[in-house]
Amino acid sequence: MTSAPASHGGTPPASHQGEQTRARYPDETGFVERPDGVRLFWERYGSGDTTLLFVPTWSIVHSRIWKAQIAHFARRHRVITFDAPGNGRSDRPRDPAAYDEHVMADDIFRVLDANGVERAVVACLSRAAQCALVAAAGRPDRVQGLVVLNPAVRLGDPLPGRTDFSFEDELDTDEGWAKDNIHYWRRDFRGYLEFFFDQAFNEPHSSKQIEDAIGWGLETDAETLAGASQEALEREEVLRHAAAIHCPTLVIQGGADAITGPHRGVLLAEAIPGARLEMIEGGGHVSEARDPVRVNLLIDEFIDGIVRPVRRRAWTRALARHGRRVLYLSSPIGLGHAQRDVAIAAELRAIHPDLEIDWLAQHPVTAVLEAHGERVHPLSAALASESAHITSESSEHDLNAFQAIRRMDEILVANFMVFQEAVDAGGYDLVIGDEAWDLDHHLHENPELKRTAFAWMTDFVGWLPMPAGGEREAWLTADYNAEMIEHVERFPRLRDGAIFVGSPDDIVPDSFGPGLPAIRDWTERHFEFSGYVTGFDPAPLLERREELRREFGYHEDERIVIVTVGGSGVGEALLRRVIAAYPEARRRIPGLRMVAVAGPRIDPRSLAAPEGVDVRGFVPDLYARLAVSDLAVVQGGLTTTMELAAARRPFLYFPLRNHFEQNRHVRHRLDRYGAGRAMDYDASTPGSIAAAMADEIDRPVTSRPVEIDGARRAAELIARLI
Instruction: Determine how β-strand 39-45 pairs with β-strand 78-82.
Output: antiparallel
Contact in structure between 597 and 562 (CB atoms under 8 Å): yes
- What pLDDT, on the 0 to 100 scale, is given for residue 497? 98
- What pLDDT, on the 0 to 100 scale, is given for residue 230? 76
pLDDT in tens, 160-218: 988 889 999 999 999 999 999 999 999 999 999 999 999 999 999 999 999 999 999 99
pLDDT in tens, 480-533: 999 999 999 999 999 999 999 999 999 999 999 999 999 999 999 999 999 999
Any bridge partners for residue 563, and if so which? 596, 633
Residue by residue, DSSP assigns 516-557 as S-BHHHHHHHH-EE-----SS-HHHHHHTHHHHHHHTT--TT
CA distance readout (Å), 686 to 118, 504, 690: 63, 38, 6
pLDDT in tens, 542-588: 999 999 999 999 999 999 999 998 755 677 889 999 999 999 999 99
pLDDT in tens, 585-616: 999 999 999 999 887 767 777 787 888 899 88
- What pLDDT, on the 0 to 100 scale, is given for residue 647? 94
Q: Element (H or E) spanning 346, and its range?
A: helix 336-351
pLDDT in tens, 75-109: 999 999 999 999 999 999 999 999 999 999 999 99
Average pLDDT over residues 226-241: 92
The per-residue b/e assignment along 236-252, b for 16 or more CB within 10 angstroms, e otherwise, is: ebbbebbeebebbbbbb
pLDDT band, very low/low/confident/very high, at 307 (cuts 50, 70, 90)? confident
CA–CA separation, 18 vs 62, rounded Å? 13
Contact in structure between 8 and 71 (CB atoms under 8 Å): yes
Three-state DSSP class for 12? coil
pTM for the whole structure: 0.94
Residue ranges and CATH numbers for the domains of the chain are 28-161+235-307 (3.40.50.1820), 318-532+712-719 (3.40.50.2000), 538-696 (3.40.50.2000)
Average pLDDT over residues 359-365: 91
Q: Is the pLDDT of residue 655 over 70?
A: yes
CA–CA separation, 392 vs 236, rounded Å? 51
Average pLDDT over residues 223-247: 94
Residues 6 or more apart whose CB falls under 8 angstroms from that of 94 comprise: 223, 224, 226, 227
Residues 6 or more apart whose CB falls under 8 angstroms from that of 300 comprise: none
Residue by residue, DSSP assigns 291-308 as SHHHHHHHHHHHHHHHH-
pLDDT in tens, 402-433: 999 999 999 999 999 999 999 998 889 999 99
Instruction: Determine how β-strand 324-330 pairs with β-strand 355-360.
Output: parallel
Instruction: Work out the end-to-end distance of the chain between its first and last CA atoms, rounded to an integer number of angstroms.
Output: 26
CA–CA separation, 219 vs 233, rounded Å? 26
**What one-character DSSP code corresponds to residue 666?**
I
Contact in structure between 486 and 203 (CB atoms under 8 Å): no
pLDDT in tens, 673-721: 999 999 999 999 999 999 999 999 999 999 999 998 999 999 999 999 9
Contact in structure between 21 and 392 (CB atoms under 8 Å): yes
Three-state DSSP class for 6? coil
- What pLDDT, on the 0 to 100 scale, is given for residue 320? 65
Q: What is the 3-state secondary structure (H, E, C) of 475-492?
A: HHHHHHHHHHHHHHHHCC
Average pLDDT over residues 333-339: 79
CA–CA separation, 253 vs 125, rounded Å? 10
- Hey, what long-range contacts does 207-212 have (CB within 8 A, 24 or more apart)? 207/476, 207/479, 208/406, 208/407, 208/409, 209/286, 209/289, 209/290, 212/64, 212/289
pLDDT in tens, 431-476: 999 999 999 999 999 999 999 999 999 999 999 999 999 999 999 9
